[in-house]
Amino acid sequence: MHSVVCIKQVPDSAQIRIHPVTNTIMRQGVPAIINPYDLFALEEALRLRDHFGGKVTVITMGPSQAEPALRKALAYGADDAILITDKSFAGADTLATSYVLAAAIRQIAREEPVNMVFTGKQTIDGDTAQVGPGVAKRLELQLLTYVSRIVSVDPDKREIVVERRAEGGVQVLRTALPCLITMLEGSNAMRFGSMPDLFRAALHPLRQWDRAAAGIEDVTKVGLKGSPTIVNKVFTPTPRATKAEIITVDGGSSQELAVALIARLGTLFPQVEKELAKRAR
């Protein structure tokens, strides 16, 4: 069972600042972390390897500064890691990024067949949730998004059953391998890296692929040239000037508190009171 996990190094969203003139994210001085959603994908791939054997390869597209993210993944237990880096990739949007990652996965599959590709459901810096589906489309893989649990995998039948979070409930889906899975948050808990894996991560000969090594022939599909997305403006939300209101009720029972809360909401938002009265009929 060979799984490829796509991760991304992102700025810590709790410390992101916006440049007042250029309206772009200021990454200088902001700690970089592995995209939290990608850790759920990595853990799931590691669990499958632990159960069925095989290999977990982690890849990321980015500058050389992304190397610590890959070594972190190795410390968690990944078997191999590849940094896909080239100056021509700068400024890539989700379309260009999916093109590069798909090309790299094709190259990996030439070395060793790939059974599954994992990504997080989205990244915390872009929040588009487009890269995973984009890679699946380019590689013609079965796509399973927002997966909350892998129910079963049958390598012999080349079949997988998963639970997928959907509006109104949970879907149970069965599909053929190979496939691409985007993992939902809370689907598992990331393990602690063992001491041998920590030493291995520090000494591992990290592979770096440039444009040629990743098998990219059309340079018009990478970087800014291959990115039709235009960001008009980036801004931080304006802090609210109003303070939170505290509602107290004599006696303090939950029923009395609920009645007081509904009454206060009806005063602040008359339309809500009308809607509640309408539904109560």
> Tell me, what's the pLDDT at 125?
85
Question: Would you write out the chain's pLDDT as a tens digit for each of its 281 residues?
Answer: 999 999 999 987 666 667 666 666 666 777 889 999 999 999 999 999 999 999 999 999 999 999 999 999 999 999 999 999 999 999 899 999 999 999 999 999 999 999 999 999 999 888 899 999 999 999 999 999 999 999 999 999 999 999 999 888 999 999 999 999 999 999 999 999 999 999 999 999 999 999 999 999 899 999 989 999 887 777 667 777 777 777 777 766 788 888 888 888 788 888 877 777 777 76
> Tell me, what's the pLDDT at 25?
66
Question: Which residue from 202, 198, 199 is spatially nearest to 76, judged by alpha carbons?
Answer: 198
On whether the CB atoms of residues 45 and 66 are closer than 8 A, the answer is no
Distance CA(9)–CA(61), nearest Å, equals 9
> Tell me, what's the pLDDT at 22?
60
Q: Where are the domains of the chain?
A: 2-226, 240-281
Phi-psi region of 3 (alpha: psi -120 to 50; beta: other; left: phi over 0): beta
On whether the CB atoms of residues 188 and 47 are closer than 8 A, the answer is yes
Backbone φ and ψ of 154, nearest 5°:
-120, 95
Distance CA(208)–CA(215), nearest Å, equals 13
Do β-strands 32-34 and 17-18 pair in parallel, antiparallel, or remain unpaired? unpaired
Note the Cα 123 to chain centre separation in Å: 4
> What b/e string do you get for 213-222 counting C-beta neighbours within 10 Å, with b at 16 or more?
bbbbeeeebb
Tell me, what DSSP letter sits at residue 4? E
| H/E stretch holding 202 | helix 195-203
Convert 60-91 into a string of H (helix), E (strand) and C (coil): EECCHHHHHHHHHHHHHCCCEEEEECCHHHCC
Q: Starting at the edge strand that comes first in sequence, how are the strands of the sheet with 179-183 ordered? A: 169-176, 159-166, 142-154, 179-183, 116-120, 2-6, 55-61, 80-84, 207-209
Task: Output the CA–CA distances (angstroms, integers) from residue 8 to 32, 71, 223, in the order listed.
Answer: 10, 12, 16
Backbone φ and ψ of 140, nearest 5°:
55, 45
> Tell me, what's the pLDDT at 66?
93
Query: What is 2-226's CATH number, 2.40.100.20, 2.40.50.140, 3.10.50.40, 3.40.50.620?
Result: 3.40.50.620
Sign of CA dihedral 33, 38, 43, 47: negative
> Tell me, what's the pLDDT at 256?
80
